[in-house]
């Protein structure tokens, strides 16, 4: 009996397989104890047949490939019983969350200046914003460019709001093509890195990363649309999600964090999805960030569970928002009326503050429909292939008047029919032109009832295949089997491997001789792709999610660092939390009890005292104050030697500054210090010149401000 009668559909399946697996098969992290010798480690690797894949900047955990078919749960249990293993962990997947004043659409950016009118058909409350308009009047940037790392789906480099807002790696921008000029392990990574494709093109094929980046750094003077929160910010894009919002594994996230640090970033925006599991290697990396680097990681609190209702993270932790440490700043979402968003996670202890994250206007991808077919009219260009049998595809009209294309509409007597046995027949599309498309995809509504033999693992299957017009080979892009819900399901299939080509699609039904069933019904076929922007096309979208609350805070943090570049990221964190705008609806829901307040944060930053950790304090010029010695010291560089002027009770003289006296200094914006434990200089500025010890190649470097590159100097 035909069952295509209900008008509700499930959303975005890929074939009939799980869209986002939880872990990468045949991979695991192992963190060995520090006293383990290399020979013992090699013996351990041999014992479990492990192949080393990758090391990381921010954690001692190593990524390994395990033998095919290994039971990872059992392997981890065995590893954790080994005396030399500190911890072992799976390599998890993560998910992206779903989701200047003269700018022409500024009046729609209620989160910057809420006038209490209607925004995108929603009523709003006066003043329910981040006090940005008042903040910008006090904003006096002393740093031209503040780099914010956005670890997400990449960004659209040709979007008018973002094409001039990308950060660059100076050595790569001025270096040699095909060479890793800055020694970071990535070739020609001028504008970030794509950890999905492992290349230097972090282009956004999903939209999420572009939306996040646009909130932070949209061009504020091009008079084309919206304004970004931080006028002096630029974005360093890290692509860890694919076009479907999947693909972000633990190792990719940790690598992106390490890349951000190597690039000198101090603000990192990370909007991972709901329900990401706890990862020991990521927590390890975050502890190292806090211990050794001056960086702030701003995370979305998450969008609740499957019921789309926000959860209390104090009771049910979600990561990365629930990771420990002061490096992490967790952000909940509010709406136009200062109410906690229905979908937003919260937590009086775990979640730090809130920011607008509902009905937010932001730049978006230019994703265009290349072709749409609803099968209502003539089927021009469609053909059928049914060798050896009489079956053919034809249309059927349901009780609502909607037409579907099916393999088995009616039998010879005019009754509803099931499909036959031992069939292998196809529906072939006309040609679709993907020449100007990137990240091409197929979406189609399918109702299916296909027979299966469980004991023999035999399934009647609908194969979705594609072929370039330059080839006679068909490539499988998806498969459907079993039974869908009543009314059909909306499926999505990846066609990106055919970008730049002309293709045909083939829907091929293959059946066996066991039993038959109702068959397959197709409707609303759409092929779309990301294309270059055209003037006048839709380039913005209203979006909702804690993913878009986090960049609000990242934007304000970047404003503070441009306004007072000498303050530390931990000072930025303390200022943001101390200056929130208290909101009754957030009492008991977030630790600070309020929404980020850009105006008060700017005022407080202006008053902030500047210091270096472990007792050393910064003063104008090259002076630092030693709290332990209760004296000011003037620093001077002569060659590669750093000296200081010491005023004693009886004599005053220059003396060489022993690196032991700077033991424990942390990475800081200005001046940077020497970490005696790791024997590394962290970009110490003296007499207008920057020197650094580069661990990657164990060389002293001097920074050439003219070419914006690091150059080797003689070893000392």
Same domain, 42 and 70: yes
User: Is residue 97 a part of any domain in this protein?
Assistant: no
Smallest Cα–Cα separation from 28: which of 78, 83, 103? Answer: 78
Give dist(CA 27, CA 68) in Å, integer. 10
Q: Are residues 228 and 320 in the same domain?
A: yes
Among residues 473, 497, 529, the one where a domain terminates is 529
Find the angle CA(322)-CA(328)-CA(332) to the nearest 5 degrees. Answer: 65
Residue 12 forms part of a structural domain? no
Quick one: 541 and 687 in the same domain? no
429 with 578, same domain: the answer is no
Among 28, 32, 34, which Cα is nearest to 51's? Answer: 28
Angle 49-51-53 from CA coordinates, rounded to 5°: 160
Mean pLDDT in order along the chain per 10 residues (716 residues): 33 32 87 92 95 90 94 93 94 69 83 90 90 93 89 91 86 84 85 92 91 93 86 94 85 94 90 76 92 91 86 93 94 96 95 96 87 88 70 78 82 68 88 89 91 70 92 90 83 89 93 84 92 70 93 97 88 96 96 97 84 38 49 47 45 46 34 44 41 40 50 43
What does the alpha-carbon distance between residue 633 and residue 332 come to, in Å, rounded to a whole number?
Answer: 44
Domain membership of residue 13 (yes or no) is no
**Rounded-to-integer distance, Cα 596 and Cα 329, Å:** 12
Three-class SS of residue 676? Answer: coil
**C-alpha distance from residue 692 to each of 252, 699, 702 (Å):** 27, 8, 6
28 and 85, same domain (yes or no): yes
Rounded to whole angstroms, the Cα distance separating 589 from 575 reads 20
Q: How many domains does the chain have?
A: 4
Helices (H) and strands (E) in the chain — how many of each? 10, 44
Does 123 share its domain with 222? yes
Out of 529, 559, 574, pick the residue that ends a domain: 529
**165 within 8 A of 703, measured Cβ to Cβ:** no
Domain that holds residue 164: 106-366+537-607
Residue 640 backbone zone (phi > 0: left; psi -120 to 50: alpha; other: beta):
alpha
Residue 210 shares a structural domain with residue 84: no
Same structural domain for residues 163 and 288? yes
The CATH number assigned to the domain holding 487 equals 2.60.120.200
* Rounded CA separation 426/464 (Å): 10
Of the candidates 93, 87, 94, the residue with the CA atom closest to the CA atom of residue 24:
93
CA dihedral 630, 634, 635, 639 (to 10 degrees): -140
Closest by CA to 345, choosing from 359, 356, 360, 332, is: 332
pLDDT of residue 412: 57
Pairing of strands 709-712, 118-119: unpaired
Q: How far is CA 517 from the centre of its chain?
A: 43
Three-state SS at 351 = coil
Per-residue pLDDT at 176? 87
Among residues 529, 558, 585, the one where a domain terminates is 529
- Residue 166 near residue 263, CB atoms below 8 Å: no
Q: Is 2 within the bounds of a domain? A: no
Same domain? For 65 and 154 the reply is no
- Helices 546-563 + 598-607 axis angle, to 10: 30
285, 312 in Cβ contact below 8 A? no
Instruction: Name 133's Cβ contacts closer than 8 Å, sequence gap at least 6.
Output: 101, 112, 113
154 in the same domain as 295: yes
Domain membership flag for residue 243 = yes
Burial of 78 (0-12, 13-18, 19+ CB in 10 A): middle
CATH of the domain at 88: 3.30.70.80
Chain-centroid distance, C-alpha 47: 36
Report the C-alpha gap between 348 and 475 in whole angstroms: 51
Does the residue 17 lie in any domain?
Answer: no
Q: Is 261 helix (H, G, I), strand (E, B) or coil?
A: helix
- Looking at the DSSP bridge assignments, the partners of residue 452 are 459
The CATH number that applies at residue 127 is 3.40.50.200
Q: Which two tokens stand for residue 440?
A: 């091409």
Residue-level pLDDT at 331: 98
Tell me if 449 is assigned to some domain: yes
User: Do 509 and 398 share a structural domain?
Assistant: yes
User: Distance between CA atoms of 252 and 93, rounded to whole angstroms?
Assistant: 9
- CB neighbour list of residue 59: distance below 8 Å, 6 or more residues apart: 31, 254, 281, 282, 284, 285, 288
Residue 685: phi, psi to the nearest 5? -100, 125
Yes or no: say if 332 and 354 are a contact pair by the CB < 8 Å rule: yes
333 located within any domain: yes
How many Å apart are CA 313 and CA 301, to the nearest integer? 8
- For CA atoms 207, 212, 215, 220, give the dihedral sign: negative
Pairing of the two strands 10-13 and 489-494: parallel
List the 248-249 sheet strands across, edge first: 51-54, 62-65, 23-32, 85-94, 248-249
379 and 522 housed in the same domain = yes
Write the Ramachandran bin of 264: left for phi over 0, alpha for psi from -120 to 50, otherwise beta: left
Measure the CA–CA gap between 666 and 326, rounded to whole angstroms. 15
Q: By the 8 A CB rule, do 520 and 476 touch?
A: no
């Amino acid at each position: 009996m035909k069952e295509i009668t209900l008008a509700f559909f499930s959303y975005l399946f890929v074939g009939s397989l799980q869209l986002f697996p939880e872990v990468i098969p045949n991979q695991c992290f192992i963190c060995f104890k520090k006293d383990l010798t290399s020979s013992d480690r090699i013996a351990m690797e041999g014992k479990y047949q492990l192949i080393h894949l990758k090391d990381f900047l921010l954690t001692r955990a190593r990524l390994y490939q395990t033998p095919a078919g290994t039971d990872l749960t059992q392997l981890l249990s065995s590893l954790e019983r080994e005396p030399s293993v500190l911890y072992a962990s799976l390599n998890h997947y993560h998910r992206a969350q779903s989701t200047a004043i003269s700018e022409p659409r500024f009046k729609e950016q209620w989160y910057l200046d809420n006038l209490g009118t209607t925004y995108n058909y929603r009523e709003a409350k006066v003043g329910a914003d981040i006090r940005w308009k008042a903040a910008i009047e006090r904003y006096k940037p002393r740093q031209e460019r503040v780099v914010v790392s956005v670890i997400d789906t990449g960004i659209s480099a040709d979007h008018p709001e973002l094409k001039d807002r990308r950060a660059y790696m100076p050595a790569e921008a001025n270096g040699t093509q095909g060479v890793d000029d800055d020694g970071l392990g990535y070739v020609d990574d001028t504008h970030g890195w794509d950890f999905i494709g492992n290349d230097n093109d972090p282009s956004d094929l999903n939209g999420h990363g572009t939306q996040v980046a646009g909130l932070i750094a949209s061009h504020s003077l091009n008079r084309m649309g919206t304004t970004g929160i931080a006028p002096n910010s630029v974005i360093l894009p890290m692509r860890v999600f694919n076009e479907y919002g999947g693909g972000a594994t633990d190792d990719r996230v940790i690598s992106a964090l390490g890349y951000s640090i190597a690039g000198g970033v101090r603000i990192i925006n990370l909007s991972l999805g709901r329900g990401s599991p706890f990862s020991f290697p990521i927590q390890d990396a975050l502890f190292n960030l806090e211990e050794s680097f001056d960086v702030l990681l701003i995370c979305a609190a998450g969008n609740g569970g499957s019921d789309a209702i926000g959860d209390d993270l104090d009771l049910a932790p979600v990561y990365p928002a629930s990771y420990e440490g002061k490096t992490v700043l967790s952000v909940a979402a509010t709406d136009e009326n200062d109410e906690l968003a229905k979908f937003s996670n919260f937590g009086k202890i775990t979640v730090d503050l809130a920011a607008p994250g509902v009905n937010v206007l932001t730049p978006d991808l230019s994703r265009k429909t290349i072709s749409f077919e609803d099968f209502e009219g003539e089927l021009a260009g469609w053909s059928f292939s049914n060798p050896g049998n009489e079956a053919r595809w034809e249309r059927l009209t349901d009780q609502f008047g909607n037409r579907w294309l099916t393999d088995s509409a009616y039998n010879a007597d005019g009754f509803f029919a099931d499909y036959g046995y031992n069939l292998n027949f196809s529906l072939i599309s006309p040609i679709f032109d993907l020449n100007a498309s990137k990240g091409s995809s197929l979406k189609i509504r399918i109702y299916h009832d296909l027979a299966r033999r469980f004991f023999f693992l035999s399934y009647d299957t609908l194969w979705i295949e594609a072929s370039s017009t330059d080839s006679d080979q068909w490539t499988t892009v998806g498969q459907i089997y079993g039974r869908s819900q009543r009314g059909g399901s909306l499926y999505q299939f990846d066609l990106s491997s055919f970008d730049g080509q002309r293709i045909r699609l083939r829907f091929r039904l293959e059946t066996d001789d066991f039993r038959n069933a109702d068959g397959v019904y197709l409707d609303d076929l759409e092929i779309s792709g990301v294309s270059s922007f055209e003037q006048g096309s839709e380039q913005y979208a209203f979006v909702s999610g804690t993913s878009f609350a986090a960049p609000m805070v990242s934007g304000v943090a970047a404003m503070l660092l441009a306004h007072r570049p000498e303050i530390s990221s931990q000072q930025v964190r303390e200022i943001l939390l101390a200056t929130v705008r208290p909101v009754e609806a957030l009492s008991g829901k977030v630790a600070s009890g309020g929404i980020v307040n850009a105006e008060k944060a700017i005022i407080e930053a202006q008053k902030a005292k500047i210091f270096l950790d472990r007792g050393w304090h910064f003063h104008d010029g090259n002076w630092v104050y030693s709290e332990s010695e209760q004296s000011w010291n003037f620093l001077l560089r002569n060659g590669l030697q750093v000296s200081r002027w010491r005023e004693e009770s009886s004599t005053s003289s220059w003396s060489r500054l022993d690196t032991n006296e700077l033991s424990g200094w942390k990475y800081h914006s200005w001046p940077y210090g020497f970490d005696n434990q790791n024997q590394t200089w962290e970009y110490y500025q003296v007499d207008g010149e920057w020197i650094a010890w580069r661990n990657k190649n164990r060389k002293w470097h001097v920074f050439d401000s003219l070419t914006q590159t690091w150059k080797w100097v003689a070893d000392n």
